[in-house]
Amino acid sequence: MKFFVDTAEIAEIKDLAETGLLDGVTTNPSLIAKSGRNILEVIAEICDIVPGPVSAEVAATDFDTMLKEGRKLAAIAKNVAVKVPLTVDGLKTCRVLANEGRQVNVTLCFSANQALLAAKAGAAFVSPFVGRLDDIGEDGMLLIEDIVQIYDQYDALKTEVLAASIRGPGHVLAAAKAGAHVATIPPNVIRQLYAHPLTDKGLAAFLSDWSKTGQSIL
Ligand code: G3P
């Protein structure tokens, strides 16, 4: 499963990119607002740091304006994935941009039928929002399982399932078990994936024993 980071904070992206485990970045209008940055500038910077797909979301809701915005975002860098909402106009935009050879991430997906439409519209990624379904008392991970199962049955559907609205390590584990191609994960949750108390305890014991040997490897 590929790991994308869900943020527009440059310092976080640089830090995580240095681990060599970061496959891409997703942003959305809320994350751009939180960063306080100009969208065109910050997306260009992110694309310089991370060679993988960088999702940049349109802000319009009508087809003509969405398409213009999508083309402008796509022109920033080769690795921009234009993000469009799962609406009729969003999917029309997806189809045109996909035909032009652009990667499109269809976002705000909350049902398997919506995901089927996104795949038929030529999306490179579909983003089902796991946490927001959990928030309203549904099981968001069941949606990931359904979409993976549906896509697996049709060779013609090339869309990757990008588990979004990930809120904790449990979601990452469940997304991987369900066969999601990608998870977009907040920076703090990516860092939590490294942690285990027995790793810390074991390392402390090894270092203590090692110091008793008086040896040095270098
Ligand atoms: O980028 C879309 C998604 O990951 C947002 O997550 O936590 O705002 O529901 P959240």
Question: For atom 4 of ligand 1, which residue has the closest CA?
Answer: 165
Question: For atom 5 of ligand 1, which residue has the closest CA?
Answer: 165
pLDDT at 170: 98
Q: Which atom of ligand 1 is nearest to the CA of 131?
A: 9
Distance CA(28)–CA(105), nearest Å, equals 11
Which amino acids are annotated catalytic? 83
Pocket test for ligand 1, best of 25, 26, 28, 138 (most atoms within 8 A of CB): 28
Judge whether 73 and 65 are in contact, CB under 8 Å: no
Distance CA(57)–CA(32), nearest Å, equals 9
28 lines ligand 1 (CB under 6 A): yes
165 lines ligand 1 (CB under 6 A): yes
Distance CA(99)–CA(101), nearest Å, equals 5
Q: Exposed/middle/buried for 150, CB within 10 Å: 0-12, 13-18, 19+?
A: middle
pLDDT at 165: 98
Tens of pLDDT along the chain (218 residues) come to: 999 999 999 999 999 999 999 999 999 999 999 999 999 999 999 999 999 999 999 999 999 999 999 999 999 999 999 999 999 999 999 999 999 999 999 999 999 999 999 999 999 999 999 999 999 999 999 999 999 999 999 999 999 999 999 999 999 999 999 999 999 999 999 999 999 999 999 999 999 999 999 999 99
Which pTM value belongs to this model?
A: 0.96
Question: For atom 10 of ligand 1, which residue has the closest CA?
Answer: 165
**Which residues 6+ apart lie within 8 Å of 62 measured at CB?**
89
Alpha-helix runs per DSSP H in 25-179? 29-35, 39-49, 63-74, 88-99, 112-120, 130-135, 140-152, 169-178
- The CATH fold assigned to 2-213 is TIM Barrel (3.20.20)
Please state the length of the chain.
Answer: 218
- The domain spans of the chain are 2-213
164 lines ligand 1 (CB under 6 A): yes
Helix 140-152 and helix 169-178, axial crossing angle in degrees, nearest 10? 20
